[in-house]
Amino acid sequence: MESTSPASVVVERRVEWSDTDAAGHHHHSAVLRWAEAAETELLRRVGLDELYGSIPRVHYEADYRGRLWFGETVRIELRVEKVGTTSLHYGFEVHGRDGLAATGRMSIARSAARATSSEPWTPEQARLFGTAGPQGGG
């Protein structure tokens, strides 16, 4: 039976040395990399990894709620929040051992590598983003 909920995924990563800053905890940019890693996994699992190279980021925001330390395992939850005609909005949460560490949104647009404007999702792409539901391990 097909899901009727938007596509989502949960992945785990470890805070690497290169993810930390001079204060010893995660650098703010690590959260974006982890959200993009979750997006990559989501695209693979729903069969849309051919979109790589044609979905530039057009907006990103994050609220930092806690610190994540070197060696700590983090869980990133990424979900499709809205599928537009040419864009898509993700929401994400990053959890560490002490709970919620960051929340945010990332918006992408469908646009060929050297195009000067966006283009619509195909009906199949829009359907998968909008109804693929939670994606399990793999």
Domain boundaries, the chain: 8-130
Domain 8-130 = CATH 3.10.129.10: yes
The strand pair at 134-135 and 99-109 is best described as unpaired
The strand pair at 8-14 and 57-64 is best described as unpaired
| Per-residue pLDDT, 125 | 97
pLDDT tens string 58-87: 999 999 999 999 999 999 999 999 999 999
Instruction: Please calculate the CA angle 70-58-31 and round it to the nearest 5 degrees.
Output: 10
Helix or strand run (H / E) with residue 28: helix 28-46
If DSSP codes are grouped into helix, strand and coil, which group holds residue 54? coil
| Per-residue pLDDT, 137 | 63
Confidence of residue 2 (pLDDT cuts 50, 70, 90): low
* pLDDT averaged over every residue in the chain: 94
CA distances in angstroms from 21 to 25, 44, 122, listed in the order given: 6, 31, 41
Instruction: Please calculate the CA angle 135-70-76 and round it to the nearest 5 degrees.
Output: 15
